[in-house]
Amino acid sequence: MGWPRDDDKLERVRASMAEQEIDAIVARAPDNVLYLTNFWGMKGYDAVCFPREGDPVLLCLEASADDAARTAWTTDIRLVAGYEPTDPRPPTLRTLELATAVAREYGTVGLELSLGTQAADRMVGEPTTFTKDWFDAFPDAVDATPVLVEARALKTPQELERMRLANEIAAAAMDHVRGVIRPGTTEAQIAAEWLGFVHGEGTGWAGKVELALGFSLVWAGTGIKTFTATTSRPVVEGEPTLFEIWVCADGYWCDHTKNIVVGDLKDDYRELEARLRDVYDDAVGFCAPGVSLAELDRRIRAGIDAMGYPGQPSHPICHGVGARAHEPPYAHQAGGGTVETGMVLAIEPGCYWQKGGGLRLEDNFLITPNGPEKLSPFPDGIVQAHA
């Protein structure tokens, strides 16, 4: 769906560009193109030239012209042919030619030189990245990534509205699987139930979501580990099934870990849940504006160490969420930065048993002057399935 131009967001970017003396940003990562233009491309062949003053220029694949005209915030849309009989080169090279021509009128140009990760295009499964030619074409470019990171870290009211939609869809899908999960259902089968709900019901959600896509890792009982795949392992009564889940609603994301148990929770998991919940609640309460992100990481890991799980977890325990499921800021002891009003943080402590099993808790929290606001309506902890 079309959203009105988010001037709060765009002016924040331009203010940061002025501080860094960048005249124009040429961005090609789909999440940055979306962030600066509201256009979410299909294949990642698109780019934007976003000037400090004046109108942006969207470089768009010809096949997506109608989508761009309907959703983009700029009227200056220049089309790139996917196939051109007189020019059989890949379309990214035609995008590059247009980008260099548009950027030529500006002095200092910024590129995403230190881009660590990017969200995928609207096809999602196969992110498109540009070749060395893209960087060679701008030999005097400065790094615009810090400008975009700084701007993206603080969410505008419109961004929050869009993220709330993703959170609502994820929670509704969890309510759905809570009613259909049974002992013997496999991880993959219950993941499919969740994914099907997100795509089938989330697309069109509240008349505001044009496309909703879900992503999941589902682990049952002893299958709960870090960095492992969903399998055909069955759901076990009395042991939690963990859902590591993401919803992307028109390019804005949520990132949760939720847990469902069929029947009565076993005592060892009940004790683990209570102790990990203390660490989780302490971390959430600690996230006031101005506190150190490095100290947040130390605090959570010290709490998990005190539980008897030294060195855990192997995954990050806090990161930003927005136009990517995982984006800066990150809480890391070797890093810097502070928690600030307007950030949305995923907080996710976890601990895991050596022979399989364990628990992770995660939700997204908007940092406000009055404390963190939980964005998902689905409960934290281990939730009992509907009989």
Q: Does 329 lie in the same domain as 225?
A: yes
Is 323 found in the same domain as 253? yes
Check whether residue 187 and residue 332 sit in a common domain. Answer: yes
Q: Are residues 179 and 287 in the same domain?
A: yes
Predicted confidence at residue 2, as pLDDT, reads: 80
Pair 87, 226 in one domain = no
Q: Are residues 148 and 162 in the same domain?
A: no
Q: How far apart are CA 259 and CA 273, in angstroms?
A: 10
Q: Which CATH number does the domain housing residue 275 bear?
A: 3.90.230.10
Strands 77-80 and 382-384: unpaired
Residue 164 has a pLDDT of: 98
CB atoms near residue 107 (< 10 Å): 11
Dist. CA 6–CA 126, nearest whole Å: 28
Query: What is the residue type of 181?
Result: I
Assess whether 69 and 181 both reside in one domain: no
Instruction: Output the 3-class SS for 179-222.
Output: HHCCCCCEHHHHHHHHHHHHHHHHCCHHHCCCCEEEEEEEEEHH
Q: How much is the pLDDT for 125?
A: 78
pLDDT at 280: 98
The Cβ of residue 314 has, within 10 Å, a number of other Cβ atoms equal to 10
pLDDT on residue 353: 97
* Domain limit, last residue, from 152, 173, 206: 152
**Res 1: pLDDT:** 65
Q: Kindly report whether the global pTM for this prediction surpasses the value 0.85.
A: yes
Q: pLDDT at position 124, please?
A: 76
pLDDT for 159 equals 98
129: in domain: yes
Residue 141 confidence (pLDDT): 98
pLDDT at 82: 93
Q: Could you tell me the mean pLDDT of each successive run of 10 residues in the chain, 387 residues long?
A: 92 97 97 98 95 97 96 97 92 96 97 93 85 95 97 98 98 98 98 98 98 97 94 98 98 98 98 98 98 98 98 95 97 95 98 96 97 97 95
Does residue 278 share a domain with residue 183? yes
Residue 372 three-state SS:
strand
How many structural domains is the chain composed of? 2
Element (H, E) at 18: helix 7-20
131 & 185 share domain = no
Its domain, for residue 124, covers 7-152
* CA atoms of 181 and 158, how far apart (whole Å): 35
Last residue of a domain, one of 127, 152, 177: 152
Residue 282 CA to residue 259 CA, distance in Å, equals 20
Q: What is the CATH number of the domain that holds 148?
A: 3.40.350.10
Residues 6+ apart with CB under 8 A from 267: none
